[in-house]
Structure 1
Amino acid sequence: MRIAILGGTRFIGRAVVERLTAEGHTLLVVHRGDHEPDGQPGQPGQPGQPGQPGQPGQGGSAAVEHAHLDRHDGAALAAALTPFDPGALVDISGMNAAAADAALGAVGPSVKLIALSSVDAYRAYDGVHSDRTTDSLPLTEESPLRERRFVDGPQYENLEMEERYLPRGATVLRLGAVYGEHDYQKRFEFVLRRVRAGRRRIPVGSGQFLFSRVYVGDVAAAVSKALDGDFPGAFNITEPSTAPYRLFAEQILAAAGAEDTELVRVRDDLLPEDLALTGALTQHLLVDSSKARDVLGWAPADPAATLRTAVRWHLANPPADGSDDFSADDELLGVKTG
């Protein structure tokens, strides 16, 4: 299939491109050119070196082509997509109404649409941010959506994006907390930065917060499944079981070979910012993904194995901006808690 990918070079997009390329699809990756993954097909020096959008790459027929443009520029996007003639469009970077409108205006009604959203669409996500208990669990595709908008900033509103895509018959994938290789949100760093520094004791809070997760490779697998048929509507994409945050921290330590590191219970209100999710939160984000398993036929890989894979990658690729300041930890670990 000829598939246009909007935003295919960072984290989730990178995994989707790798998966669909391995499956033999022909891809046009549309991005600004700010992030060029080393070794990605279609980049200079790789098989399928890019030519002009919609034309074979230099040196032979290309599996992956790249178009560098601002996806919000509807005319430029249409000019890139029209000659490529995609059978499907996968929107990974559509974060608001303007982005969605530009994408939908650039393709015809026969193009299969898949858009990546988030469980932040649910009212429970606002509950987390506003310190309220709003919803019963688990969250399903029928759970109430947020009424308050732009809780994560003026550029980010998945509800706007969904409101454009769903009426067009799109498959919308609502992702849990995505982890894995190349994760720029650094979801494991609350533990791993301390492991790298040889810290033997880590302060944690009550550790009962539930936030359903999913491995980045399993997100790519869900996109692949959605391309296999006609699946209009929203689907939650999360692992079927969720470890509370203290257990999650213990699992990361075990995967890092640091099982003897002690997690020391301290008062939730004293936790450093990067350990806040180990404290008490009033609303959990426990998400049911049975619809995706039943309808799409999607199933995640073994979470224990993917966690180990992700932890190994992050240990080998520490963030350049990682902090070595543990003064807040040291102060807390001197506080008597019982």
Structure 2
Amino acid sequence: MRIAILGGTRFIGRAVLERLAGEGHELLVVHRGEHEPAGLVDVEHAHVDRNDGTALAAALKPFDPEALVDISGMNAVAADAALEAVGSSVKLVAISSCDVYRAYDGLHSERTTDAVPLTEESPLRTRRFVDGPKYENLEMEERYLPRGATVLRLGAVYGEHDYQQRFEFVLRRVRAGRSRIPIGSGQFLFSRVYVGDVAAAVSLALSGDHRGEAINVVEPATAPYRLLAEQILAAADASDVELVKVRDDLLPADLSLTGALSQDLLLDSSKARAVLGWSPVDPVETLRTSVRWYLENPPADASGDFSADDAVLA
């Protein structure tokens, strides 16, 4: 299949690119050319602003895609440009997030709004993001779903090439040789998914007929944050590090998710299993593999300041 990927050089896009290339598809990666890291799969690239519908259409026309996977369509402008650039026969898959649910707004406004787990029928946010049009998955979904796209709603994605460094709240302390880490109540539930399993879901969405469907893609079991911290420590061979329970109001800022939060973001992925035939490969092994990658690839701006830890542990 000829597949155009909008944003295929970083994290999720890179995993999708590797998966689809391995399956033998003919691929075109469309991006601005700002991120072309070493080791990318050797496929055709088009350097263009994906938000410029005219330029995007011109880049896609010679390739004549049968399918389009939108990794970077984060708002109405981006979605409209992509949809204007392809014909109605092109199969569409778009990456979204659990931030479309009302529960996400509840979490960020310190309210409990919804029972969990969240299904695809759970209420969506009515309040839009206030920092302008740069990032709003609700807008993207409103464009793609009526066009028959399969929209994949992800939880917290972790794994190789994760520029958000999801496990850094523990691992920066492990790298520094800290023997004690402050932690809050640790009961927050935030569904996660390994980046390679996201790529598998994209592949399944492309191979089936799930037009106009939104589908949660997360691991079926979710460890609360204290247990997650313990699992990360075990995977890092640092089980001797002590997690010290402290008052939530004393937690260092980067440990805030280990405190008591108003609303869980626990998603139900049964539809992904029933409709796509998707399931994660092995969450225990993918967490272990990911922790090794994180340890070998620390962020360039990793902080070595643990004064907030020392103050609360004193």
TM-score by length of structure 2 reads 0.99
**CA-to-partner distance for each residue in 1:170-219, whole Å, 9 max, x for gaps?**
00000010000111111100000000000000000000000000000000
Equivalent positions of 1:218-257 (< 5 A) are: 218-232=197-211, 233-257=213-237
Root-mean-square deviation (CA, aligned residues, Å) is 0.8
User: Could you list the runs of 5+ residues in structure 2 that have no partner in the other structure?
Assistant: none
Secondary structure in structure 1 of the residue aligned to 2:198: helix
Secondary structure in structure 1 of the residue aligned to 2:108: helix
Determine the C-alpha separation between the residues in 2 that align with 1:144 and 1:37: 39
Q: Greater RCO between the two (CA within 8 Å, min separation 6)? A: 2
- Partners of 1:242 and 1:286 within 8 A in 2: yes
Structure 2 counterpart of 1:101:
80
How many Å apart are 1:41 and its aligned residue?
2.4
User: Could you list the runs of 5+ residues in structure 1 that have no partner in the other structure?
Assistant: 43-63
- Partners of 1:126 and 1:151 within 8 A in 2: no
Equivalenced residues, count: 313
Structure 2: which amino acid aligns with 1:77?
L
Secondary structure in structure 1 of the residue aligned to 2:210: coil
Structure 2: which amino acid aligns with 1:164?
R
1:116 pairs with 95, 98, 102, which one? 95
Structure 2 counterpart of 1:206:
185
Does residue 23 of the first structure (1) align with residue 3 of the second (2)? no
Structure 2 counterpart of 1:78:
57
1:169 pairs with 134, 142, 148, which one? 148
- Partners of 2:75 and 2:133 within 8 A in 1: no
Structure 2 counterpart of 1:271:
251
Determine the C-alpha separation between the residues in 2 that align with 1:238 and 1:195: 27
Aligned-residue sequence identity (percent) comes to 80
Structure 2 counterpart of 1:13:
13
Secondary structure in structure 2 of the residue aligned to 1:239: coil
Equivalent positions of 1:29-44 (< 5 A) are: 29-42=29-42
How many Å apart are 1:153 and its aligned residue?
5.7
Does residue 304 of the first structure (1) align with residue 284 of the second (2)? yes
Determine the C-alpha separation between the residues in 1 that align with 2:142 and 2:49: 22
Determine the C-alpha separation between the residues in 1 that align with 2:41 and 2:291: 25
**CA-to-partner distance for each residue in 1:204-255, whole Å, 9 max, x for gaps?**
0000000000000000000000011110210000000000000000000000
TM-score by length of structure 1 reads 0.92
Determine the C-alpha separation between the residues in 2 that align with 1:190 and 1:243: 16
Secondary structure in structure 2 of the residue aligned to 1:295: helix
Determine the C-alpha separation between the residues in 2 that align with 1:202 and 1:152: 33
Determine the C-alpha separation between the residues in 1 that align with 2:23 and 2:70: 19
Determine the C-alpha separation between the residues in 1 that align with 2:130 and 2:68: 27
Highest CA radius of gyration, 1 or 2? 1
Structure 1: which amino acid aligns with 2:266?
L
